[in-house]
Amino acid sequence: MVAKIIDGKAISEKMRAGLAKEVSNLVRHMPKPGLAVIVVGDDPASHVYVRSKAKQTIEVGMESFEYQLPASASEHQLLDLVATLNNDERVDGILVQLPLPHHINAEKVLRAIAPAKDVDGFHPLNVGLVATGSGGMVPCTPLGSMILIKSVRDNIAGLNAVIVGRSNIVGKPMAQLLLQESCTVTIAHSRTADLPAVVGAADILVAAVGRPEMVRGTWVKPGSVVIDVGINRVAAPDGKSKLVGDVAFGECLDRAAAITPVPGGVGPMTISCLLQNTLRAATARRA
Amino acid sequence: MVAKIIDGKAISEKMRAGLAKEVSNLVRHMPKPGLAVIVVGDDPASHVYVRSKAKQTIEVGMESFEYQLPASASEHQLLDLVATLNNDERVDGILVQLPLPHHINAEKVLRAIAPAKDVDGFHPLNVGLVATGSGGMVPCTPLGSMILIKSVRDNIAGLNAVIVGRSNIVGKPMAQLLLQESCTVTIAHSRTADLPAVVGAADILVAAVGRPEMVRGTWVKPGSVVIDVGINRVAAPDGKSKLVGDVAFGECLDRAAAITPVPGGVGPMTISCLLQNTLRAATARRA
């Protein structure tokens, strides 16, 4: 078997094209949806992400509002800005770029975002709504991962899904989504006794641990779907660096039925899902 | 091996004795914690539960407020009562006994309870806080089940935990608690392909499906801990009826290391955990 390589870049582009069409229909009878992104400090990676988000936001026809605060900004200042955006009619989605400087309590800031504008889906109210299957905003990375799974498997009910990694941002919400699709769901992590055996039972594997190529090809169940959420920068043979996932991609190609590459798999889906959440927030709030 | 039978009745009594002592210390410098229970209609089982809750509430030294609404009560009336209790200084915990009559939207009512007084832990905000490991009120049945597990296994990190049943009230929050204890957690359910095999891998098994004796003794891993949340009334050989769990108890006695009986296992823990949540809510709110 040669694994199908799931092209997250192409799928996310198609998704944004669909969103652009929806937005162009919507703006006939309502204002443009607006996404506000706040970045604090001068972490270069954060600024790259934020620019990329702003660009794609505008490309699908939405308003982008960008707020840059200095690294010295106080928690109080940031909370003030969030409160202002919560009440700003033009703003449908609010995203605070992480990580925040250490003197700011990130949890407190994320909880200050109005749940209806929490397009990252990190507010505990949205976490609870998603967990109970009662709506709520779904975090972008699990949402994008599920779209990629669905691109190769229409009906996943009854399949064994294994998630490696139990983060609040990926692992746990991914488990909820797979459970809603009636998978038998296992969450494994650093304390798991026999990880290769657990991974070996997975019809659907989602790796989200942030450890370069930790999941080996020999662990993977033949015929499975492998979603690699990890993005790790490692030294390349040429002395430069390269990006690899949490899965040893090359080793899986003759075992998995389908696998996401890194880069170009889950990564590109995230912003598209963010824009989809923003559109959803806009239509819900303005309905 | 002969399984240790986990005595939920004894453990819950000991727990209430501890709570009574805590309450008697607390009331020296604050008012008595108060639990308000609302029951709508005249379902006999609900009234039995509610009387039992009131009795035990008073026994540990707390105030019990009981509200009985007729089956004909409107959703609006119920929401009004919840709002009144939300603002009542004497009330630390509010519990709406389920099921509610069909003309009342239970989800809407449960969301109307102030999260700080939501001692059942059903409000999505508490669900989200528990799911992210950020505090929140833990639902009583999973909390009680975890206490029973801990009564026989001190450290469960790295063990395989399997939950059969994916309800919002038991299965899903139970998964979060076991994950917090660093178990490898699997959630199985009616769509699971090979349930006996999944159950067979469980060092800790929590059955919460509501199907009498569905989990057979031959499925159970030798040496495992079996927590049976099910309470099913079935016909007994003498023509009367009896209560059985979701696990074929007798078949497990020579395989499991420890098992909860039905009745007398998880059941009695629920009210004790409710009282513990009420005490926790009181100290948090009045701190």
Q: Which ipTM was obtained for this model?
A: 0.95
- CA-wise closest residue to A229 among A215, A250, A240: A215
Chain A residues in contact with B184 by the CB 8 A cut-off are 186-189, 191-193, 198
CA angle B109, A283, A17 (to 5 degrees): 135
List pLDDT tens digits, range B130-151.
999 999 999 999 999 999 999 9
CA angle A144, A149, A151 (to 5 degrees): 95
Given this model, what pLDDT does residue B45 score? Answer: 87
Residue B215 to residue B192: CA distance in whole angstroms = 13
Asked if A31-115 and A140-267 have one fold, the answer is yes
Given this model, what pLDDT does residue A52 score? Answer: 93
pLDDT at A287 over 80: no
CB contact (8 A) between residue A184 and residue B191: yes
Residue A235 CB contacts under 8 Å (≥ 6 apart), including other chains = A241
Q: How many residues does chain B have?
A: 287
Q: Which residue has the tokens 């009336």?
A: B77
CB contact (8 A) between residue A172 and residue B179: yes
Residue A120 to residue A114: CA distance in whole angstroms = 11
pLDDT at A53 over 90: yes
Name the band, by pLDDT with cuts 50, 70 and 90, for residue B287: confident
**Two tokens, residue B191:** 């769509």
Question: Taking the CB of residue B94, how many other CB atoms lie within 10 A of it?
Answer: 28
Return the CATH class of domain A140-267: alpha beta
Residues tagged in the binding site annotation of A for NADP(+): 165-167, 231
CATH 3.40.50.10860 is the classification of domain B31-115: yes
Q: Which residue has the tokens 């108890």?
A: B249
Cβ atoms of A229 and B215 within 8 Å: the answer is no
CA angle A178, A150, A32 (to 5 degrees): 95
pLDDT at A219 over 90: yes
Mean pLDDT of all residues in A196-212:
98
Specify the 3-state DSSP secondary structure of A250. helix
In terms of C-beta distances under 8 Å and separation of at least 24 residues, what long-range contacts does B216-221 make, across chains too? B216/B248, B216/B251, B217/B248, B217/B250, B217/B251, B217/B252, B217/B253, B217/B254, B217/B255, B218/B251, B219/B195, B220/B247, B220/B251, B220/B252, B220/B255, B220/B256, B221/B255
pLDDT at B213 over 80: yes
Q: Are strands A241-244 and A232-235 parallel, antiparallel or unpaired?
A: antiparallel
Lay out the sheet containing B184-188: strands in order across. A4-5, A258-259, A225-228, A204-207, A160-164, A184-188, B184-188, B160-164, B204-207, B225-228, B258-259, B4-5
More confident residue, A55 or B1: A55
CA angle A186, B181, A174 (to 5 degrees): 35
Percent of chain A residues past pLDDT 90, beyond the cut: 96
- CA-wise closest residue to B203 among B248, B246, B247, B157: B157
Residue B183 to residue B52: CA distance in whole angstroms = 34
Residue B66 to residue A56: CA distance in whole angstroms = 56
Cβ atoms of A223 and A201 within 8 Å: the answer is no
List pLDDT tens digits, range A165-191.
999 999 999 999 999 999 999 999 999
CA dist B123 → A129, A213, B99, B213, B225 (Å): 9, 39, 16, 31, 30
pLDDT at A245 over 80: yes
- CA-wise closest residue to A178 among B185, B23, B38: B185
Chain A residues in contact with B168 by the CB 8 A cut-off are 131-133
pLDDT at A45 over 90: no
List pLDDT tens digits, range B253-281.
999 999 999 999 999 999 999 999 999 99
Judge whether B43 counts as a catalytic residue.
no
CA-atom Rg of chain B in angstroms: 19
Mean pLDDT of all residues in A201-217:
98
Q: Are strands B232-235 and B241-244 parallel, antiparallel or unpaired?
A: antiparallel
Name the band, by pLDDT with cuts 50, 70 and 90, for residue B286: confident
Residue A212 to residue A51: CA distance in whole angstroms = 26
Judge whether B53 counts as a catalytic residue.
yes
Mean pLDDT of all residues in A240-245:
96
Name the band, by pLDDT with cuts 50, 70 and 90, for residue B232: very high
Domain ranges of chain A: 31-115, 140-267
Residue B189 to residue B174: CA distance in whole angstroms = 14
Q: Which residue has the tokens 């019990």?
A: B64
Chain A residues in contact with B158 by the CB 8 A cut-off are 191-193
List pLDDT tens digits, range B91-114.
999 999 999 999 999 999 999 999
CB contact (8 A) between residue A189 and residue B198: no
Report the residue of A109, A127, A176 to disrupt the B interface, i.e. the one with the largest count of B CBs within 10 Å: A127
Residues 25-84 of B with CB under 8 A from A: none
Is the backbone peptide bond immediately before A99 cis, with ω within 30 degrees of 0? yes
Mean pLDDT of all residues in B53-60:
97
Given this model, what pLDDT does residue A132 score? Answer: 96
Given this model, what pLDDT does residue A1 score? Answer: 72
Mean pLDDT of all residues in A26-55:
94
Cβ atoms of B135 and B129 within 8 Å: the answer is yes
Given this model, what pLDDT does residue A156 score? Answer: 98
CA dist A2 → A148, A159, A175, A253, B229 (Å): 18, 21, 27, 6, 45
Mean pLDDT of all residues in A93-115:
96
What is chain A's mean pLDDT, rounded?
A: 97
**Two tokens, residue B94:** 């509010």
Mean pLDDT of all residues in A109-125:
97
pLDDT at B1 over 80: no
Q: Where are the beta strands (DSSP E) in A143-269?
A: 160-164, 184-188, 204-207, 225-228, 232-235, 241-244, 258-259
pLDDT at B192 over 90: yes
pTM: 0.96
DSSP annotation of B157: T
Type and span of the H or E element at A91: none
CB contact (8 A) between residue A128 and residue B123: yes
Q: How far apart are the first and last CA of chain B?
A: 49
What is chain B's mean pLDDT, rounded?
A: 97
pLDDT at B231 over 80: yes
| Dihedral angle computed from the Cα positions of residues A169, A175, A176 and A180, in that order, rounded to the nearest 10 degrees | 150
